[in-house]
Amino acid sequence: MLKNATLRQLSALHAVARLGSVSRAASEIHLTQPAVSIQLKLLEESAGTPLLERDGRGIRLTGAGELMADYAARILDLWREVGDEMAAYRGVVSRRLRIGVVTTAEYLVPRMLVVFAREQPNVEVKLKVGNRDEIVRLLTTQEVELVIMGRPPKDLKTVATPFARHTMAFVAAPTHPLMARKRLALRDLAKEDLLVRERGSGTRTTLEQLFREADLNLRIGSELSSNEAIKQMCAAGFGLAFMSQHICRHELESGELTLLPVADNPIEREWYVIRLASRQLTGIGEEFERFLIDHGQQHIQDQLLRPPQTTLSMKVCA
């Protein structure tokens, strides 16, 4: 069984499993859609059972497909590791840093990567940005070796190290009626429309936890998948928002947004750099992890004072 399976076939299944589409998978692995379909068909013939089935306009994995995709992810990761080991054997050290970042941190991490790359010539960065659920999935399937997020996943054995503090805040347009009041409680916000991120976002989860702990219902005005859209709608007076102050600091400085006078607002949280407990980091991964732990807080503070203007001296791939 599976004696005729190839790495190309496993790569095709792995891409379709992650992206949920043959067309997107074809684009990622640089094959045509018919070529990907052929690879999947050959893998199904080798497995002796269907791995995919039609689901409306799209496709989804069967039970066997999910099992095969899990093994495919592990096999492909081992194959990448073999490549790195063979390169090291020849005296060539891998300089590829595979990192996943939640969208709230995408305003911070690229600039820290610039500073890191100044000391690390020829670094090739594979940077993935997504919501919390997406980034946890990338870590689980070992498509990235390090992730940066505000709260370690509970259902995954990881090594999570805090490296910097950040603040989350309730904000509104200066003209919002609540800004006329000198003091507010969280229960006052429960009566207002809140602009929130989609389910799976760490910010959304933190917000839901705050309201749940206060025994309050969260009233959702609009659900958006973009921090930028939330900022613009909030500044236009369409509702209240809860977001990282790093994201909206320019709007706070310009007066387009302002902090709501809520007790304990803003709220301080930690940034974590996280890796799988079962996997050893590459050399460049270890160096970047140590860089964040030793210097992350200072670099974030420097960015808040004066964002650096520099050129990215490293290769970045999707």
| Domain harbouring 64, CATH code | 1.10.10.10
| 305 and 241 fall within a common domain | no
Are residues 175 and 159 located together in one domain of the fold? no
Same domain, 96 and 66: no
Question: CA-CA distance, 10 to 25, in Å (whole number)?
Answer: 12
pLDDT, greater one: 76 or 81: 76
Same structural domain, 187 and 155: no
Domain end residue (candidates: 69, 88, 107)? 88
What digits encode the pLDDT tens for the residues 285-302? 999 999 999 988 887 777
Write the pLDDT tens digit of every residue in 256-284: 999 999 888 888 888 999 999 988 888 88
> Is residue 50 domain-resident?
yes
- Token digits for 7? 């790495």
Q: Are residues 153 and 284 in the same domain?
A: yes
Q: Where are the beta strands (DSSP E) in 173-309?
A: 194-197, 220-224, 240-244, 258-259, 267-276
* 3-class secondary structure, 167: strand
Greater pLDDT, 91 or 134: 134
Residues 6+ apart with CB under 8 A from 76: 7, 10, 11, 14
Report if residue 53 sits inside a domain: yes
Asked if residue 265 and residue 172 are part of one domain, the reply reads: yes
Tell me if 289 is assigned to some domain. yes
In this structure, are 278 and 261 located in the same domain? no
CATH of the domain at 137: 3.40.190.10
Phi, psi for residue 29 in degrees, rounded to 5:
-100, 10
**Beta-bridge partners for 100:** 128, 147
Q: In terms of domains, do 158 and 278 share one?
A: yes
In which domain, by residue range, is 209 found?
Answer: 166-269
Q: How many domains does the chain have?
A: 3
Q: Residue 35 corresponds to which tokens in the numbers above?
A: 């070529």
Instruction: State whether 79 and 102 are in the same domain.
Output: no
Residue 2 lies in a domain: no
In a domain, 1, yes or no: no
pLDDT in tens, 93-151: 557 889 999 988 887 888 888 888 888 777 888 889 988 888 998 898 888 999 999 88
Q: Phi-psi category of 30—alpha, beta or left, where left has phi over 0 and alpha has psi -120 to 50?
A: left
Domain match, 17 and 79 both? yes
